[in-house]
């Protein structure tokens, strides 16, 4: 079954346009979820341009909608201590009345990390930090108390109350394609994996790697929803984008995430809905 999501990266975009798009998507059953992203600098176009913060905007967007699931694809682990992220997620799960999808990623954008004095580290550092942080978040959202002694994080009887309505915790979404580390973390902790801007022909092999990691950790891979991005600009032909989504579905992807590129507006939504309706 074809499933669709909408994404509004808050870079080079106005708040009013973002709100209008989410309010429109909330009224369209075709879209099951809506997403922003977690960066402080634009990752496309002029890096000195505007880019709104993820969690503040996501909370406001959760209150501007009532049906659609909401999430950030994906939150950078190095931006916030995982114990803080766990508390933010629990609170937003309550505020959204159980509609939060919790997106997590290891982080990669060196420009913003260097500018903000944030430690990004080597690829190994990033993935080790990500593994520790993901475990902490999962445990804090599902346990009364969490203690942890790791290389990057240490917790002593840490509490996260109140917890949200989704039990044992909001679905964890992990984005990335790294075969040795990222997909192994997906197999251990995630309920959804996003393969980003992957080509339809490349997806089956990546998924096969994920299945292998699931076998290693004793996880049923069918428990993990799989998504991939479709780049969506105002100039793009909605029919061509629908065709790309169809190829992703044929490859085995569950959810096509239509990621908008600024400048975007709510006027783009209806033509896309018409094109996608033919796939349902």
Tens-digit pLDDT profile for residues 191-228? 999 999 999 999 999 999 999 999 999 999 999 999 99
pTM over 0.85, yes/no? yes
Q: Show the domains of the chain with their CATH numbers.
A: 3-277 (3.20.20.30)
Report in angstroms the alpha-carbon separations of 247 from 16, 233, 243.
Answer: 33, 19, 6
152 close to 129: Cβ distance less than 8 angstroms: yes
Q: Which residue carries 């000195």 as its tokens?
A: 48
> Between the CA of residue 149 and those of 31, 168, 193, what are the distances in Å?
41, 23, 27
User: In this model, does residue 280 exceed pLDDT 80?
Assistant: no
CA 27 to chain centre: 21
Q: Omega of the bond prior to 168 within 30 degrees of 0, cis?
A: yes
The per-residue pLDDT for range 139-169, each reduced to its tens digit, is 999 999 999 999 999 999 999 999 999 999 9
Please give the average per-residue pLDDT across 77-84, as a whole number.
Answer: 97
Chain segment 171-193, per-residue pLDDT in tens: 999 999 999 999 999 999 999 99
Q: Is 74 helix (H, G, I), strand (E, B) or coil?
A: coil
Instruction: Single out the residue of 42, 9, 46 nearest to residue 258, CA to CA.
Output: 9
What gap in Å lies between CA 69 and CA 35, rounded to an integer?
9
133 neighbors 74 (Cβ within 8 angstroms):
no
Indicate the pLDDT class of residue 279, thresholds 50, 70 and 90: confident
- Looking at residue 4, what is its pLDDT? 98
- Return the closest-CA partner of residue 58 out of 116, 4, 118, 103: 103
Give the Cα-Cα-Cα angle 64, 280, 101 (nearest 5 degrees).
35
Give the percent of the chain with pLDDT over 70. Answer: 100
């Amino acid at each position: 079954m074809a499933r669709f999501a909408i994404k509004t990266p808050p870079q080079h975009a106005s708040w009013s346009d973002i709100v209008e798009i989410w309010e429109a998507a909330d009224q369209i059953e075709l879209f099951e979820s809506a997403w922003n992203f977690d960066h402080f600098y634009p990752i496309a176009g002029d890096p000195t341009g505007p880019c709104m913060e993820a969690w503040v905007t996501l909370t406001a967007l959760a209150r501007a909608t009532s049906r659609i699931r909401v999430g950030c694809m994906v939150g950078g682990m190095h931006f916030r201590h995982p114990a803080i992220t766990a508390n933010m997620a629990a609170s937003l799960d309550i505020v959204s009345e159980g509609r939060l999808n919790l997106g997590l990623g290891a982080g990669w954008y060196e420009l913003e990390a260097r500018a903000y004095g944030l430690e990004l580290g080597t690829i190994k550092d990033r993935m080790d930090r990500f593994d520790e942080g993901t475990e902490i978040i999962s445990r804090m959202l599902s346990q009364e108390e969490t203690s942890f002694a790791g290389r990057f994080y240490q917790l002593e009887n840490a509490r996260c109350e109140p917890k949200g309505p989704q039990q044992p915790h909001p679905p964890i979404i992990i984005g990335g394609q790294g075969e040795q580390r990222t997909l192994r973390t997906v197999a251990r902790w995630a309920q959804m994996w996003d393969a980003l801007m992957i080509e339809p022909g490349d997806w089956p092999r990546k998924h096969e790697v994920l299945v292998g990691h699931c076998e290693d950790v004793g996880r049923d891979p069918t428990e993990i929803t799989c998504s991939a991005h479709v780049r969506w600009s105002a100039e793009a032909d909605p029919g061509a984008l629908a065709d790309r989504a169809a190829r992703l579905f044929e490859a085995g992807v569950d959810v096509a995430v239509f990621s908008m590129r600024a400048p975007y507006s709510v006027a783009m939504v209806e033509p896309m809905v018409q094109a996608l309706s033919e796939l349902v």
